[in-house]
Amino acid sequence: MAHPSVSEMDYQALVERIAETTGSDADTVRAILGAFPGVVMEGDVGEKTRTPLGVFTLTQRKQSKPVKTPTGHWGSAQPMVLARLKPGTKLRRDSSNEPSGLSSEMEEDPNL
């Protein structure tokens, strides 16, 4: 079975691929992925959680200075706790062998 390319993979395809890879059913994978953010957010500000994806760190975002929106109203970002991900090695790959996005069949424009 051919696997979808990165540009084609949506949430459903991701769930199905994880289920296929782990031998789990899609409902279990969906339940785990659905619970994951809430569990990570249970920690305290400054807490770091190491996972195979990388390290999640809970940070406190301060309230921003007021800014005028394009509609003329004033607004600012409210303070909140954010989970930041520093990707681990499993979420990194060498891009030197990646396709450039140009087809090898395309001819170069002599005017460029």
Identify the residue whose tokens are 């170069």. Answer: 108
One digit per residue, the tens of pLDDT, for the chain of length 112 reads 555 555 567 999 999 999 999 999 999 999 999 999 999 999 999 999 999 999 999 999 998 888 888 999 998 888 899 999 999 988 888 888 665 554 444 444 444 4
Is 59 in the same domain as 30? no
Residues of the domain holding 35: 1-40
User: Same domain for 35 and 47?
Assistant: no
Domain count, the chain: 2
HSE value, Cβ hemisphere, 13 Å, CA-based, for 72: 0
In a domain, 27, yes or no: yes
Whole-structure pTM value: 0.64
In the β-sheet with 80-87, what is the strand arrangement from edge to edge?
Answer: 48-51, 54-61, 80-87
Residue 94 domain flag = no
In whole angstroms, give the CA distance from residue 19 to residue 90. 18
Asked whether residue 7 is assigned to any structural domain, the reply reads yes
Same domain, 59 and 84: yes
Q: Is residue 21 part of a domain?
A: yes
36 with 47, same domain? no
Is 109 part of a structural domain of the chain?
Answer: no
Cβ–Cβ < 8 Å for 45, 60: yes
The answer to the question of residue 100 being in a domain is: no
